[in-house]
Amino acid sequence: MCDTLVAMQSYTSNKSIIFAKNSDREPDEVHELIHIPSREYKEGERVKCTYIEIPQVRKTYEVILAKPFWIWGCEMGVNENGVVIGNEAIFTKIPHEKKKGLIGMDLMRLALERSKSSDMAVEVIANLLKRYGQGGICGYRDKKFKYHNSFLIADFNSAKVMECYGREWAVKEIKDAYSISNCICIEDDYDCHSENLGEYATKKKWIKKNKKENYEKINLKKVYTSHFLTHFSGAKKRRNRSFELINKEEGKLDVLKIANILRDHFPDKKPQVINLCSTCLAKVFISDILYEVSQRSKKHHPSYGSNADICMHAANSIIRKSQTTGSIIVELTKDKKILIYATGTSAPCISIFKPLFLGYNKIPTENYHNGKFYDEKSIWWKSEKFHRLFLANYKKFIKEYSHERNELEKEFIIESTKFVKKNAKLKYYTKDEIYKFSLSCFKRAQDFTDRWIDKLSKIKRKKIFFYSNYWNKLSKRNKLF
């Protein structure tokens, strides 16, 4: 489950465009940040994506990607031209293709590597979709997890939503601010679409052609939504919540305010209870017990959150098995500068957004050492140790931690903004100095995390039986404690 949003110039305080996304994946699925430079290829060369190999283009653009470690594609990313994209799993009535093709994350990376604008990104995705379709397992450990995709695409001048239903697609232009989640958002308000839009719906007699043999405008949300999975993903509540928070700050949004939206926990904490088998119900029922206990305190605790939380916390293997494993914010300024802030770690409510830069050869995340198991040298896994320690004493320390985190984050954002502006005017900094600045922010964030790990390691961890059991099993599997 994920949430992606964009605020156009009329919604931001400095007339920039701000894009943001939380990537919700399995809780021990390493989320990495990688940099890929621009490159030229020989005619006839091919590129190996997650499942299939396709022809490579003659030139690809420089990109920074945030992605699950085992997948070729990405969950979100930005290229040197200021094209930024995030995807969402959407659940449609159209069956998944049995043959392996390009998964949504592959389509996104290919679009970023090959596009100069948001319009071109749509064209790239549309052409690839027509030729290869959406096909392949998208889950890390869950080898049955498949989905279709929607994309939020922005550049310096525009933003749009592209939804893909099998090999059909539609695009809607964004004028002010918008949010997408794990649900079909486009109704009959699309601006352009594939030639075959409505083909499957017509075959199933859900819609009819008009006399001229063209499709009438289709309410895509109504016709193609798979209601069961969409409902229990919590997508509607999360999307409504993100819109509410965006609209509250209309004309005043900045990077820090967007970061707070990504950290939001839905105010209605009561979890969903679904009609499952008796064994499952027994497991899910603990959420209600925890909810009643939680009412004694108004402070949020991850154990009684829900799928309606924008900042998602995994809590069980039944209905709350997704975790926000990484987050990114991209600011596209009115003077054509790209400012990137990424956590590179899970749970944005206890993570720090750190600056990254395009155009300077590399980013300070070479020491990820990605894999299934805990690695002391890995940024993501080191932070995950902190995350799991913090879960046990969340209420006790979240206020203190948040204050310290906010102060450090403010410094990073102020410094990086000045850094880019000064460099643009004076051409003062070398590529090595840009890299060292970004690296220093990552090191300061790591020192901050290490201090908290040391502090929390000395404190007895509070246990909430089923919830603690769930995370202890994960930690044991990941060789973390």
**Taking phi first (over 0 means left), then psi (-120 to 50 degrees means alpha), and beta for anything else, what does residue 12 get?**
beta
What's the alpha-carbon Rg for the chain, to the nearest Å? 22
Other CB atoms within a 10 A radius of the CB of residue 447 amount to 11
Q: How far apart are CA 383 and CA 403, in angstroms?
A: 18
2 an active-site residue? yes
Edge-first strand listing for the sheet containing 338-342: 177-180, 3-7, 17-25, 323-332, 338-342, 354-356
Q: How far apart are CA 280 and CA 60, in angstroms?
A: 48
Helices (H), 134-218: 199-203
Q: How far apart are CA 23 and CA 335, in angstroms?
A: 28
Residue with tokens 């001048």: 157
- Active-site choice (2, 49, 185, 441): 2
- Encoded amino acid at 475, one letter: S
Q: How far apart are CA 131 and CA 126, in angstroms?
A: 9
Q: What is the DSSP letter of 348?
A: G
Helices (H), 89-144: 104-114, 118-132
Other CB atoms within a 10 A radius of the CB of residue 60 amount to 20
**How would you class 187 by CB atoms within 10 Å of its CB: exposed for 0-12, middle for 13-18, buried for 19 or more?**
middle
Are 364 and 33 a contacting pair, CB within 8 Å? no
Give catalytic residues, as residue numbers. Answer: 2
